[in-house]
């Protein structure tokens, strides 16, 4: 099994935020297994302490078992298992294997930050309980002597292990912080996509289209450059829904949006502003160029019947209204002009195009 698959264990089909926390938990689990394995090798091959090494190996395997909880969707249990094993492991290292001079109890510092990062917002009890328990265990270890450890370490070796503990804590904090920042970035991207994109078709939603379209139009007005806009409407779309069902209707809308986006490669913006109406900005397009674009789109739809996931073939046409800017237009005015042109086109039948060019 690849590392990527291990990291994604339990995250499949989960909401975005939940999946991110699961992946982060799996990363932290793997990283902790790696650290624990290093100390296992230290006990077995450097210190020649086989009993302690095998005991530590059992903890290493225990960390990995948390991934099984994830695999069976026991997400909260997996997180509680991880922190429980960690705190018990640190206690055993500090109070049985060696002594507090080794610094193993400093790993308790990772528990509060890890708990608040990995548990969900509504799991406050788990976060607080783990944080309090880790704090109490830290002070217990700090103020309790272990007069008879299984391994008697020299001051130099104690110092080396102490420094390794600090190093791994800092390294894990860096890893956790990097993952946290990545989560924030992904969450911001998700929020931005939700705020700006039509969920079904991945075109710009109505509000964001008007915002972006206005920016493009202002540039055209400032520089006295051509600018056109097309408002499209799927003819007889209600009939598609009535005859084939709304799921097929949704598939057809996605297909139509993909056809438009495939044609838009030079800075055009595509938005869905109502059910079956899409609008396209055409920066640098003259009246003739906008009409050529519309005819090409019309032919593409007429000559490429849509085949649904249920192998239903749908032939359809589109009607379009084209508006060409003058220096006084806003994007809202252009859409209104294109709507008038679209109404005129539909009044002539299906599959027609009408153009309105407002003179300055």
pLDDT in tens, 313-353: 888 899 999 999 987 679 999 999 999 999 999 999 999 99
Q: Is 214 within 8 Å of 330 (Cβ atoms)?
A: yes
pLDDT in tens, 163-181: 999 999 999 889 878 877 8
pLDDT in tens, 257-303: 999 999 998 899 999 999 999 999 999 999 999 999 999 999 999 88
The per-residue pLDDT of the chain, averaged, comes to 93
Q: Is 102 within 8 Å of 92 (Cβ atoms)?
A: no
Picking from 167, 195, 223, the residue at the C-terminal end of a domain is 195
Give the rounded distance of the alpha carbon of 198 from its chain centre. 16
Closest CA to 207 of 142, 272, 291: 272
151 and 14 inside one domain: yes
Domain-embedded: residue 200: no
pLDDT at 359 over 80: no
Picking from 195, 214, 237, the residue at the C-terminal end of a domain is 195
181 and 254 inside one domain: no
Q: What is the pLDDT of residue 20?
A: 87
Domain range enclosing 238: 206-357
210 and 150 inside one domain: no
Domains of the chain: total: 2
Q: Is 293 within 8 Å of 282 (Cβ atoms)?
A: yes
Q: What is the pLDDT of residue 358?
A: 65
- Rounded distance between C-alpha atoms, residue 52 and residue 47, angstroms: 10
Give the CATH number, domain containing residue 305: 3.30.70.270
Averaged over 187-199, what is the pLDDT? 88
165 and 218 inside one domain: no
pTM for this model (two decimals): 0.68
- Rounded distance between C-alpha atoms, residue 32 and residue 36, angstroms: 6
Picking from 195, 228, 262, the residue at the C-terminal end of a domain is 195
CB-based contacts of 286, cutoff 8 Å, min separation 6: 226, 228, 324
Q: Is 227 within 8 Å of 282 (Cβ atoms)?
A: yes
């Amino acid at each position: 099994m690849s590392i990527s698959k291990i990291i994604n264990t339990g995250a499949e089909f989960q909401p975005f935020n939940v999946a991110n926390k699961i992946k982060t938990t799996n990363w932290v689990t793997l990283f902790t297994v790696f650290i624990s394995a290093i100390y296992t090798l230290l006990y077995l091959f450097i210190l020649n302490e086989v009993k302690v090494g095998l005991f530590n190996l059992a903890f290493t395997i225990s960390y990995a078992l948390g991934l099984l909880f994830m695999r069976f969707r026991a997400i909260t249990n997996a997180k509680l298992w991880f922190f429980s094993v960690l705190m018990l492991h640190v206690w055993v290292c500090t109070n049985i294997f060696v002594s507090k001079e080794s610094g193993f109890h400093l790993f308790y510092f990772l528990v509060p930050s890890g708990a608040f990062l990995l548990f969900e917002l509504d799991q406050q009890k788990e976060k607080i309980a783990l944080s309090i328990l880790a704090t109490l265990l830290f002070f217990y270890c700090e103020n309790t002597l272990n007069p008879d450890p299984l391994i008697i370490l020299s001051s130099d070796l104690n110092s080396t292990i102490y420094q390794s503990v600090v190093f791994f804590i800092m390294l894990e904090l860096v890893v956790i912080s990097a993952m946290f920042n990545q989560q924030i970035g992904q969450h911001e991207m998700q929020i931005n996509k939700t705020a700006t994109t039509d969920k079904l078709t991945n075109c710009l939603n109505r509000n964001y289209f008007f915002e972006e379209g206005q920016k493009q139009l202002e540039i055209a007005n400032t520089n006295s450059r051509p600018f056109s806009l097309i408002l499209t409407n799927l003819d007889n779309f209600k009939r598609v829904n009535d005859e084939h069902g709304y799921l097929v209707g949704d598939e057809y809308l996605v297909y139509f949006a993909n056809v438009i986006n495939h044609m838009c490669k030079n800075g055009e913006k595509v938005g869905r502003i109502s059910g079956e109406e899409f609008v396209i900005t055409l920066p640098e397009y003259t009246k003739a160029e906008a009409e050529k674009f519309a005819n090409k789109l019309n032919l593409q739809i007429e000559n490429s019947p849509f085949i649904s996931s249920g192998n239903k073939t749908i032939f359809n046409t589109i009607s379009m209204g084209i508006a060409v800017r003058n220096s006084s237009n806003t994007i809202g005015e252009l859409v209104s002009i294109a709507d008038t042109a679209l109404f005129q086109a539909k009044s002539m039948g299906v599959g027609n195009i009408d153009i309105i060019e407002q003179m300055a």
